[in-house]
Structure 1
Amino acid sequence: MQTPLSHCTVLLDEAVDALSVRPDGHYIDATFGRGGHSRLILSRLGADGRLTGFDKDPQAVAVADALAQADPRFSIRHEGFKSMAELPAACADGILMDLGVSSPQIDDPARGFSFRHDGPLDMRMDPSRGESVADWLAEAEIPQMAEVIRDYGEERFAQQIAKAIDRRRQERGPLRTTAELAEVVAGAVKTREPGKDPATRTFQALRIFINAELEELQQALSASLRLLRPGGRLVVISFHSLEDRIVKQFIALHSKEVYDRRAPFAAPKPMALRSIGRIMPGEREVAANPRARSAVMRVAERTDAEAP
């Protein structure tokens, strides 16, 4: 029998503490994952509290369905978190977004997320929808591949990697497994930071691109302004600089008064968010769970001002 893949929730207590959960409040776990944050939120809700979860991953939804059966205060939607925009305005007292890929996704070779385990080159959060990485790489032109690997992976050898993938396609056909892609990347990347696999940035880039992760994050952040009630908290945990930059800039943009240049003497529009701060995992958590080392949590609170 296969041992179930486990997941250690990053910044568990810190994130739920930051939500400042009210017993009768309505909260949104925008990225249910394996439910660590959701279970702790539910433990702090009373009988009248409600929690709505979102997740693309069918395996995560199966876990969430079991939780929903056991606890009527919880409901799950098999959708990406950009679908929060479909919820009624001012319906939430807190929104949590944990942007990390869960350990079961990374550690399951069949999902194709990791260069450490050979498996199908897929990387879709929802394998039942959209195009796999293998299918995209089979057709993409060199400039397209280089742009994705450079922009989403911050990989300085993006052009060399794209050309190497193209040579591999011409010589031996399309790439179909994670090991094949990792081998091609290793041959194209001549230097790398000590302790980091040459394929790290390329796999990150392709995963982000194929799942439209940054675009979905931007849509979800915009939706959060409309959904949060005054005093409601937005809590976002990021795991790489591209995500964190988007979150940081979003909070900064909406944490300042807005002046209308067309009416220079008019009163400024009040800020819609108040930045609470940034939290990083402690040494003990990083030692127990190395995947937490890159996590950054940002917290903001909804003001009384109307969303811009």
Structure 2
Amino acid sequence: MTRVLVTGADGSIGRAAVAGLCDAGYGVTGLSLGYDHASPADRPLVGDARSPVDVSAALEDVDAVLHLAAIPHPSLGTPEEVFENNVAATFNVLAQAGQRGIGRAVIASSINAFGVPMNVNPVVPAYYPLDEDVPVDITDAYSLSKYVDEQTARMAWRRWGTDVIALRFPLVKSQQHLLRFRATAERDPSSMAREGWAYLDLRDGVRAIIAALECETPGAHVVGLAAADILIDRPTDELLREYAPTVPLRRPVAGRGSLVDTSRARQLLGFVPRYSIHTGDQAVSAITS
């Protein structure tokens, strides 16, 4: 693998991923609707991930695909726009990659793919810690689009033999932006209860992406991600008693321990989160204490 196509290359995760891949020695073809920031990609292209023509041009000489292009929130379009954009782009990118014989793709899914965090009904997760098999209950177009994207990944593997990893990202931001989100969440902890107050440092997001691109495990896999602790600076069990008292806890969680099971990320990708909003750049072993 020497060249990676990154769709959504000018998004917040996309820019960091492009930089990380370049630093790791990969050639990068970027595809974005436009560029508000200078891109370190050696081949930055303007185009739409839904366009067969644009994606075909972007896939020239590419060995692997990182598909990040999407409308990232249901508030950023009508339900029809959000669902149709996200699903069409993912199908177009994976289908064209598969038809070209490209053997590896990584796509951005979301913690919202199981539907409960954005659900309009007063539902709660079936259990904590959340894993990739938690029961699905979806009422919004964005969550549905991410769930369908995961099925598209499975279809691409079955049809063309393209190995695909769908990364279920939680809130992914830089430390600076995470501090702002933490302040908001601490004013109203109930706002993030249904996603387990999960987050991921952007640097760890890039590390997970590179690990997924370099993973040699065949098949199509959904992989949940999160920091090793929760966003809010309170003990996890205290928050659960107050904001999710009816949700079963499948294993004890110490300190500010995470409510996302990331064992599949560790087993398949060899990925363990390194950064914490609470300890900055200190070792991960310290962050749940």
Do the two structures share a fold, i.e. TM-score over 0.5? no
Q: TM-score scaled to structure 1, two decimals?
A: 0.27
Q: TM-score scaled to structure 2, two decimals?
A: 0.29
Structure label with greater radius of gyration: 1
